[in-house]
Chains A and B, each alone.
Chain A
Amino acid sequence: MAAGGRCPGCGSAALVEDSHYAQQQLVCAACGCVLAEGLLTTTYTEEEHLREVAYSQSTGQKEQLSRCLQRGIRRVQDLCKVLQLPRVFEETAVSYFQRALQHPSFHLVSLEKKELLGGCCVFVTCRQHNWPVTMGTICSLLYAKQELFASVYLSLQKELELSVPALSLADLVKTHLNSFRLLQQAADVPAPFVEDKEKVVARTMQMVELASETWLVTGRHPVPILTAAAFLSWQSLQPGTRLSCTLGRFCRMAGVDLPPPAHLRLKELLEILLRMASQLAWLRVFKLDKKTVVKHIGDLLQHRLFLLKNAFCQQDGEEQGAAALGEGSPGSSPAAAGVAEEKGHPSGGKRQREGGPRPLLPPCLIHPRKRLRTAAPSPSGSAITGHEPISDSELEQYLRGPEEIRAFSRAKAWP
């Protein structure tokens, strides 16, 4: 069996060691007869030349996991690589995914949902490490419907009892603005529109902080606020040339989607800025409107803390009633309140005068949508016990008469 033997078929001594694919074989060069195959190495030196077998292959570690789990883990890992997340995130996400798939509520869900589950685990990991990423981003990477993603995410959060901290908007600013093409030199972008990214990021962060101070962020989708804030910041850095550019055009040039609520957020931000401008001494002479105020955004942001305090009266443990917003306050003297409020001393009277401070409230409370409500049943009025007798006549109204029944069955309305 050693190299010095003879071929049993033809007796030739020309034996060569060849490998058939990866298997070592002893073959006769004359007649091609295979003498031996699958020789185990006998010396340590021979083993050194071969490639080592990976641990996962030799121990069958991969085979222990089901194919579905393997595929899912690979998908999670790929997603982490695409998002360029640190290595730690990948391990955490994979462990969440494994835990989730073992859970009875996820074990038998559709394949589509299992794919989304991987994305949810990555999303949760990012949020827990305060790594800014939106659901929209993950959904677009997975080609997923947002409602389905939402339902899988919520059940994941509930079943695994994960506590997920709220998304910090300030962190999101940087990552969101990274995708804006206006912040880099590009062929189709006119020169005056290109802007330095750092400046835009800094100003957008201040604008976003202002928005969250003035109740524009709570309860709203974060991305439209970012878009509107970025637009205003970009405009204000060179108002001369950029005031004519609309939000839509800005988004087209930047290569980002224009989310529909962004227009409303823009309007709200401008309203806040205009109120603040009314408190700046050197701006009061100008009749600012929502176009011209953009020129002064830099100043307004610089003094925003002072201006916010003066432009809006803070709620000091008072109940805001819907009545207080529209009508004059009966309690305080209107004359004194009229002068005193301008100076920024918050008083109880809330008047709806131009430039007068309004309460700092979320927009849904400033403009409450009047809904027709049926009168609330008084607790003592409807003393229903649940055991009242039911009259036949009342039930008759719900039963069809014989002619009606005949007409319906003739129409063959039933399957």
Chain B
Amino acid sequence: SSLKDDLSTSPQLFAPLSPYDVDLPIQTTEDALFGSQFNQPKELPADFSSVDLSFLPDITQDNKEQNLSEDGCEMQKELDGSIPRNEESSIFMAESSLSYPDTTQASPEASGACPPLTPMTPMTPVTPTSESSGIVPQLQNIVSTVNLACRLDLKNIALHARNAEYNPKRFAAVIMRIREPRTTALIFSSGKMVCTGAKSEEQSRLAARKYARVVQKLGFPAKFLDFKIQNMVGSCDVRFPIRLEGLVLTHQQFSSYEPELFPGLIYRMVKPRIVLLIFVSGKVVLTGAKERSEIYEAFENIYPILKGFKKAS
């Protein structure tokens, strides 16, 4: 990509290119602080009014150190994955050797040399990526919405389309289905549409476009605005039975297990914000994701926890 080229050829390696805005200016600030360190070796700069910190969203020293140590995978998500990883981390590493002699003191936010604080919210423990489960959850359902941006006459649509169902007494929308990709759409008179049943994001987009085209062919000036994936559901099998009573004991603040109501355990993971349904057979359903990486991440987080219960019986 063009950004890659800029990186390697441009002499202004530290000029704020847009994806790097968040990071590179930090270097200059650190330089400034570092410089000030030299001038006042004993005194920490308590007044940061001269330094322009407006670019900093909420990157604290912790995040920076995390970014350095976790191979830039945090930044990877923010940067939309357009830059190859190793290049990114090499920039960081180069910078770290120059400007971070004493990172704890050089933090613009911390006053005094306090060690990085760990967040107090209960976090599901993160596992090191080396112990990958080898199981990939399969996507089962994608729910997306799109705005056709024109008012629709639902009775008219139901009359002219073969694959449409409309029962205004039961539900105020037309239910339309297509065969390929096998999906169902709810089309409202406001022009908003919900598309469900696809097995991938691309399939969901293609299906939504087909529905929009059908509506166009029926004579409405339908557009295709604000297509958004609202929910993704995945499932997989860890292939060993799980003691749900034990899991609810050790992870009480995340779990809800009510055999009187539902045979599975409902695990509400905090990061990423995913709900998992865990069953005694070892099958796991993951839902609530807006991106498929959240599903994969959630499963990688839960797998070592579940493995811990395999031998506990």
B213 close to A387 (CB less than 8 A) = no
B162 close to A415 (CB less than 8 A) = no
A221 close to B259 (CB less than 8 A) = yes
B259 close to A222 (CB less than 8 A) = yes
A1 in contact (CB, < 8 A) = no
A282 in contact (CB, < 8 A) = no
Neighbour of A166 across the interface among B181, B205, B217, B248, CB < 8 A? B248
> For this complex, into which size category does the number of interface residues on chain B fall?
35 or more
B214 close to A395 (CB less than 8 A) = yes
> For this complex, into which size category does the number of interface residues on chain A fall?
35 or more
Interface residues in A301-322 by Cβ distance below 8 A to B read 314-317, 319-321
A154 with B256: in contact, given A362-B241, A384-B202, A398-B162 (CB under 8 Å)?
yes
A220 in contact (CB, < 8 A) = yes
Stretch from A84-92, A157-165, A271-279, A334-342 that touches the partner: A157-165
Chain A interface, >50% SS class: loop
CB nearest to B283 among chain A residues = A364
User: Cα distance A304–B132 when bound, in Å?
Assistant: 38
A397 close to B209 (CB less than 8 A) = no
B91 in contact (CB, < 8 A) = no
B110 in contact (CB, < 8 A) = no
A218 close to B243 (CB less than 8 A) = yes
Residues of A contacting B205 with CB < 8 Å?
Answer: 386-387
A395 with B213: in contact, given A365-B241, A400-B159 (CB under 8 Å)?
yes
Neighbour of A167 across the interface among B138, B204, B209, B259, CB < 8 A? B259
Q: How far is the CB of A197 from chain B (nearest CB, A)?
A: 25
Residues of A contacting B181 with CB < 8 Å?
Answer: 384
Residues of B contacting A157 with CB < 8 Å?
Answer: 256
Interface residue ranges, B against A (CB under 8 Å): 138, 155, 158-163, 168-169, 176, 178, 180-181, 199-206, 209-210, 213-214, 217-218, 239-245, 248-249, 252-253, 256-261, 263-264, 279-282, 310-311, 313
CB-based closest 4 A-B pairs: A386-B205, A219-B263, A386-B202, A219-B280
17 CB-based A-B contacts, threshold 8 Å: A134-B260, A135-B261, A150-B258, A153-B261, A165-B249, A166-B248, A167-B259, A219-B259, A219-B279, A315-B313, A376-B138, A385-B202, A386-B205, A388-B206, A390-B210, A390-B213, A394-B210
Beyond known contacts A218-B245, A394-B180: 4 more, CB 8 A cutoff: A135-B261, A320-B239, A377-B199, A385-B202
